[in-house]
Amino acid sequence: MARLGQLKIAMGTSIFIVAFVFAVFLAAIMFIIQLSFIYALIGTVLFVSLQYLIGPAIVAASTRLRYLKPGENPWLEKTVKDLADKSTIKMPKLATVPDNTPNAFVFGRTANSATLAVHEGLLRNLNENEVRGVIGHELGHIKHKDYIVMTLISALPLVAYLIARGTWQVAWFARGSSRDRDEGSMRAALFAIGALSYVVYIISLLFVMRLSRLREHYADAYSAYATGSPRSLESALTKITYGLSLSSKPPSGARAFYIGDPAQAKREIAEIVDKKEEYDLDHDGVLDEHELELAMEKEAKSTWSKMNSLFSTHPPTFRRILLLREIEEEMEKGRYTSDRIYARI
């Protein structure tokens, strides 16, 4: 599969860079407070290991998902089974989430124990071909094993953030409790650690987000190959983005694992609504699917959109759609073969 190696290299590089930055960060903290580096390293390894072990249980509990019993949803079971067989991967566990927004995600510690969860809103608001496109995308994540890597490296920015919050709070509390010179020095050290922690948090988070955006493109391309219908996922992404923009719920902390990010969807749709008259080509007061796609295309080319995407877990929706359209053109010309699945990324 051409260029899949580039995703693996990107995952390996991201792990190395984030781990290296974090190691330097821990060494700096230990130098400031004059403790052995080994204590911080052991603590971080334990934290990452704990997240890896209990992360799936936290996701299941926080989303209130319900695992499907065999035969409960025959169409969904058969669709996932057929695409999993084509992908030569073990069929994941299936679950539904009692949420009206159209979304889906996969999680787990290994590819053999993965769970594919779909929101009830996805099954209700998308047609079967569109749902099939989404399933192909999620199976792409399982095929690439990228969600496991994301689980591991996303723990490091979280550690930096927790250290930053904790040290700043302790420093501010100590500031009002004593004027002793030694405690003043300790407060200064805590403020320094807090500031350094925020810097490391931002740097490591940018690398994690970059990998997250890249993995979405690879999963989109895989869906096109697995389903043989890029148009199904194109249509699904448009409906998902619009549907997520209507949600009043706060974005989940695990939104990088979803096929669509509600926070990003709100931004994209809000920018389009502000220019509704420009994009309403038939002047009927409603943006249909075609008009919405054209609007996303124009907005995705703006400088602001390109800058904003650096801080996003997902690529702009139309850039994802554009990739799928390029793949669709290759299919129509008979040039899209198994060795060119990722050639357009």
Catalytic amino acids? 138
CA distance 274 to 166: 40
Nearest Cα residue to 243 out of 81, 82, 126, 130? 126
Question: Residue written as tokens 């010309």?
Answer: 333
Tokens standing for residue 71? 């035969």
Q: How far is CA 341 from the centre of its chain?
A: 21
User: Where are the strands (E) in 69-213, listed by range?
Assistant: 93-97, 104-107, 115-119
* CA pseudo-torsion sign 300, 304, 306, 312: negative
Residue type (1 letter), 3: R
Per the CB < 8 A criterion, the answer to whether 323 and 344 are in contact is: yes
Question: Residue written as tokens 């992908």?
Answer: 87
CA distance 249 to 247: 6
The kind and range of the H/E element at 53 are: helix 37-63
